[in-house]
Amino acid sequence: MRPNPDQAVLDPALWRLEMARRRRQLDEFKQFLSTLEREFETLSHEVLAFWSDYEQRLGPLWTEVESLQAELQAALDAMAQAQGATPVRLPKLRTRHSLPTLPPSVAWPAAPAEDAAPVAPTLKDLHRRAAMRLHPDRAPDERERARREALMRDANLAYANQDRAMLEGLLIAAGESPVRLGGFDVQAQWQWLERCEHLAQGRMRLLKAHLVLLRQHPNTVMADAVTRARGRGLDALALMALRLKAQAQELRQQLYIGARLPPQSALAEAFLAQWRARWAEVASVQPSYAPRWTGLNGERAASSAS
C-alpha cells in the first residue's frame, strides 16, 4: 500500500510498523538476489572448469583436424577453379560461444538522511508541543476555542494514558512536521523504499534471464552431457578424442587422394561432387553447438562449442 496522508495523520505509528515490515521484506529480497548471483557464478565456474579440461584434452586434436580441413578446403577450391565449378564450402567444425556475464550489482540508493539517526522527543515534549499548538487561548473565535478545548482534552488523555501515537496524530493534524516526531518522514521513506523495490525487481528479472541463458548455453549443454555420461561410467571426452584421431586420419587420406587427381579430370569432378553432397548434408542437420556431428565417412564424430 501507499501512504495515505489521512491515515498517517491519524496514526503515524502505523507507518513506522509498515515501513519496518517492508524493509524486512527488502532485506529478504536482497538475500534472495545474492542467492541467485551465487548460483549463476557457481554454474559459470563449473562450466569454465569443464571447458578448461576439454581444451586440455581435445584442443590439440581439434587444431590438427581444423588444419587438415583448411588444407582440404584449399585443394577443393583449386579443383573447382580449374573446372569452372562452384566452390565447395566446408562448414566450420566448431563455433566458439562466450558465456553470458552478469552486469554489475545494483547500486542501492541511500536511505533518507532523516532516518540515519532519528531522535524521538519524549512523551512530555510531545505534550508540551500539543499544548502550544492547541491551547484554547490561541483561538480567534469561540467556535475555534471549543474545538481546541476538545483537542486539548484528547491530548491530556493521551498523555495520561502514555498514548504516543495519539499525541503524534494530534500534532501532525495541527501542522507538526513528521520529521520532528522522530526523524520519520512518510513520503520520503516510502519513495526510497519503492525505488529500492523497483531496482530489486529489475535485478531479479535480469538474474533469472541470465540463469536461463547460462543453463541453455551450448557449453553448459555439452558439460551436462559429459557429466551424465561419466555417471554411467563413460568417458565421453576419451571417445571424442578417438573420433577426432580417426577424422584426422581420414582427412590425410582424402588429401592424399585429392593431390593425385588431375584437376580437370572426371575423377576430380566426382571428388568435388562427393564433398559437395557430403557437407551439404552435414550443414542441413548439424547445429554448431552439437556434441557430435556426421564425420567424413558418415560416422559420428566429436564437436566442440568452446
> Mean per-residue pLDDT for 110-115?
67
In this prediction, residues 95-104 reach a mean pLDDT of 85
Q: Would you call 297 helix, strand, or coil by DSSP?
A: coil
Residue of 162 and 291 predicted with greater confidence: 162
Question: Does residue 209 carry a pLDDT above 80?
Answer: yes
State the Cα–Cα distance between residues 226 and 236, nearest whole angstrom: 6
Give the separation between CA 108 and CA 37, rounded to whole angstroms: 16
Its pTM stands at 0.63
Q: If you ran DSSP here, which 8-state letter would residue 298 be given?
A: S
Question: Which pLDDT belongs to residue 133?
Answer: 86
Mean pLDDT for all residues in the chain: 81
Q: Is 233 helix (H, G, I), strand (E, B) or coil?
A: coil
Range of lowest pLDDT (58-62, 260-264, 282-286)? 282-286
Helix axes of 142-160 and 164-173: crossing angle, nearest 10 degrees:
160
For residue 186, name the pLDDT band (cuts at 50, 70, 90): low
CA distance 82 to 88: 13
CB 306 within 8 A of CB 66: no
Cβ atoms 83, 264 nearer than 8 A: yes
Tell which wins on pLDDT, 15 or 123. 123
**Residue 292 pLDDT exceeds 50:** no
- More confidently predicted of 81 and 111: 81
Cα separation of 222 and 236, whole Å? 10
Q: Is the pLDDT of residue 91 over 60?
A: yes
* pLDDT over 70 (residue 301): no
Q: Provide mean pLDDT across the span 42-67.
A: 94
Examine the pLDDT at 287 and tell me if it is beyond 50.
Answer: no
What is the average per-residue pLDDT within 91-119?
Answer: 75
263 contacts 84 by C-beta, under 8 angstroms:
no
What pLDDT does 253 receive? 93
> Residue 184 — pLDDT band, cuts 50, 70, 90?
low
What's the mean pLDDT in 93-121?
75
Per-residue pLDDT averaged across 33-41, rounded? 96
